[in-house]
């Protein structure tokens, strides 16, 4: 009997087949995948176990922690605010965050914060889950830091600090956290929270470590020089890679820690169903959240090439990741797709030209930095079905 249930349009049977193969190969504990084509839901599948300790099944309404998929929601909130005249993205950060203008950061713009060009990919000192839950404290630490490079001259992925930099646009200008702004303005009808309430935490899938089942290349490249440089960065405690990914730490229970789930870190604090994450990209691509011109400008690559933090190539518009080594996309979507992956294999993606919206959320963590083979197989199948 298949561990997978839900709905799949017959034209997208290849997506169901790929999802079932992931389970059959032992790569999944529990997971969900959803696909929209325009406003038509063509895939809405889930299966497996939401909690390996209790055997609780993954159900239709089971949400899952989505890690850095959060960044697309944070970026959308900032862009939504800017579109309504709340902030000038090309103006200085000091116009709405005066304390930020020190130690070489005086010329930083909001666009720099959104495109990972501001030079603060890591906290300068250890930060714990409780301190990170205090946005005033986290943002004050970053405001006082010296950047790693002159803002606007380079880019490096900000895996965690992004939330207290780009998210500060919303908090300072709108006066509410990203999660509250998103639910008020464009996500109120979705099972999607940046900062989950206790009843959502209670029914959310529990994350579990991966294993040999999820083995595969750390990034989708066979360039020996890049792989050697990446291995060096991953094993050097002083590298930007390690420092950027090391703080804040989630504390006891890892990213199952209710303190983290409740706090809604605007970099990696979203809990959602795959159905709702795909619906977010459906509405965003269709112009129902941002005006088409606003989205088109936000998708224009602002930073592309070797990443100061991740070593491999990355590409960013205003908060959204564009296709590159860090976001592998089938050839049909490389010019038009956008979105954001998350640690462990999660992925949210939109493609306005193809009318495609896609989301995949697993609770068994994969080890890949980019290109989790489970997500790649599902996204490849979705594009193949479109063709």
- Indicate the pLDDT class of residue 216, thresholds 50, 70 and 90: low
- Indicate the pLDDT class of residue 212, thresholds 50, 70 and 90: low
Tokens of 25: 């190969």
Higher pLDDT, 174 or 212: 174
- 11-46 residue pLDDT tens: 999 999 999 999 999 999 999 999 999 999 999 999
Domains and CATH numbers, the chain: 4-386 (3.40.710.10)
Mean pLDDT of the chain: 95
Residue 215: per-residue pLDDT: 63
The pTM score is: 0.97
Cα R_g (the chain), whole angstroms: 19
- 149-191 residue pLDDT tens: 999 999 999 999 999 999 999 999 999 999 999 999 999 999 9
């Amino acid at each position: 009997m298949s561990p997978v249930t839900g709905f799949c349009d017959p034209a997208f049977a290849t997506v169901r087949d790929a999802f079932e193969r992931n389970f059959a190969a032992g790569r999944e504990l529990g997971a969900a995948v959803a696909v929209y084509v325009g406003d038509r839901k063509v895939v809405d599948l889930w299966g497996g176990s939401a909690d390996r300790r209790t055997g609780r099944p993954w159900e239709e309404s089971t949400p899952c922690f989505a890690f850095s998929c959060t960044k697309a929601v944070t970026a959308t909130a900032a862009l939504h605010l800017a579109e309504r005249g709340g902030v000038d993205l090309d103006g200085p950060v000091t116009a709405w965050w005066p304390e930020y203008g020190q130690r070489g950061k005086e010329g930083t713009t909001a666009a720099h914060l959104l495109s990972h060009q501001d030079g603060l990919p890591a906290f300068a000192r250890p930060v714990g889950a409780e301190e990170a839950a205090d946005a005033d404290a986290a943002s004050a630490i970053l405001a006082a830091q010296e950047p790693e490079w002159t803002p606007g001259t380079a880019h490096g992925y900000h895996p965690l600090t992004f939330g207290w930099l780009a998210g500060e646009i919303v908090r300072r200008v709108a006066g509410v956290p990203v999660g509250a702004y998103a639910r008020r303005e464009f996500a109120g009808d979705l099972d999607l929270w940046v900062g989950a309430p206790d009843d959502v935490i209670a029914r959310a899938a529990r994350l579990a470590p991966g294993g040999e089942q999820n083995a595969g290349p750390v990034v989708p490249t066979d360039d020996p020089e890049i792989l050697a440089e990446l291995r060096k960065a991953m094993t050097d405690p002083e590298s930007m890679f390690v420092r950027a990914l090391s703080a804040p730490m989630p504390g006891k229970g890892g990213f199952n820690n209710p303190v983290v789930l409740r706090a809604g870190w605007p970099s990696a604090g979203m809990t959602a169903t795959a159905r709702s994450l795909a619906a977010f990209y459906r509405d965003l691509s269709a112009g129902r959240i941002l005006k088409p011109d606003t989205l088109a400008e936000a998708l224009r690559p602002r930073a592309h090439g070797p990443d100061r933090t991740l070593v491999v190539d990355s590409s960013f518009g205003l908060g959204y990741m564009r296709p590159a080594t860090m976001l592998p996309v089938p050839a049909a979507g490389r010019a038009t797709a956008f979105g954001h992956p998350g640690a462990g294999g999660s992925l949210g993606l939109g493609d306005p030209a193809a009318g495609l919206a896609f989301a995949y959320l697993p609770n068994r963590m994969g080890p890949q930095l980019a290109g989790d083979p489970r997500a790649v197989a599902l996204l490849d199948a979705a594009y193949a079905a479109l063709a």
